[in-house]
């Protein structure tokens, strides 16, 4: 396998994941910010990318298309500490191969490099166990936040919620289904 690019703004996580991939025989390198990641991809087009959903104040989703333009066959695995259905679907629609919530095993990431791309299924049957009300609230907040490009104030207005209340809800980990 050719170059693997790890894009995550957490310096420690980036270094640990890059080393773990190198120990497994991958030619891995890391980038902490979007511009550096695109520069690295232009210099050595990656065959696989591990992309954090949140890069400081930017969304990792904005890098999927440019990375695929640079390396069309590239397999992109999106990681996030705050998973939501809305961002998972958006990542896959943009061309990501897989979407994982952190923490994730390195072996799962490697398996995603070789797996068939995930495809959202419009005709999939509804789940037999519905989401909890708390999880539905989390998913709705994430969808509205995404629609407002991550702007907290604008999202709070759209949800008719005080900005601080929204910030408190976003600071919590997503509730289990």
Count of structural domains within the chain: 2
The answer to whether residue 56 sits within a structural domain is yes
**Chain centroid offset of residue 116 CA:** 18
Residues 93, 138 within the same domain: no
Sheet of 75-80, strands arranged across: 27-31, 3-7, 48-52, 75-80, 98-101
Residues 31, 88 within the same domain: yes
Instruction: Report if pTM > 0.75.
Output: no
Mind listing the pLDDT tens digit for each residue in 74-94? 999 999 877 777 788 888 899
The answer to whether residue 158 sits within a structural domain is yes
Mind listing the pLDDT tens digit for each residue in 95-121? 999 998 888 889 999 999 887 554 444
Reduced to 3 states (helix: H, G, I; strand: E, B; else coil), residue 55 is: strand
Residues 80, 159 within the same domain: no
Q: Which domain does 148 fall in, by range?
A: 133-171
Q: What's the rounded Cα separation, in Å, for the pair 28 and 14?
A: 11
CB atoms within 10 A of CB 132: 12
């Amino acid at each position: 396998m050719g170059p693997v690019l790890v894009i995550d703004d957490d310096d420690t996580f980036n270094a640990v994941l890059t080393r773990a991939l190198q120990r497994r025989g991958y030619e891995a390198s890391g980038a902490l910010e979007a511009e550096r990641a695109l520069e690295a991809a232009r210099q050595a087009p990656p065959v696989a990318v591990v992309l954090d959903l949140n890069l400081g104040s930017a969304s990792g989703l904005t890098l999927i298309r440019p990375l695929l333009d640079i390396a069309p066959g590239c397999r992109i695995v999106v990681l996030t500490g705050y998973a939501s259905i809305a961002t998972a679907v958006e990542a896959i629609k943009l061309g990501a191969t897989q979407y994982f919530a952190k923490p994730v095993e390195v072996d799962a990431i490697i398996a995603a490099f070789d797996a068939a791309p995930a495809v959202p299924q419009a005709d999939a049957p509804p789940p037999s166990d519905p989401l909890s009300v708390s999880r539905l609230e989390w998913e709705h907040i994430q969808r509205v936040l995404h629609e407002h490009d991550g702007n907290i104030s604008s999202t709070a207005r759209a949800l008719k919620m005080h900005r601080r209340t929204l910030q408190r809800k976003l600071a919590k980990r997503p509730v289990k289904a």
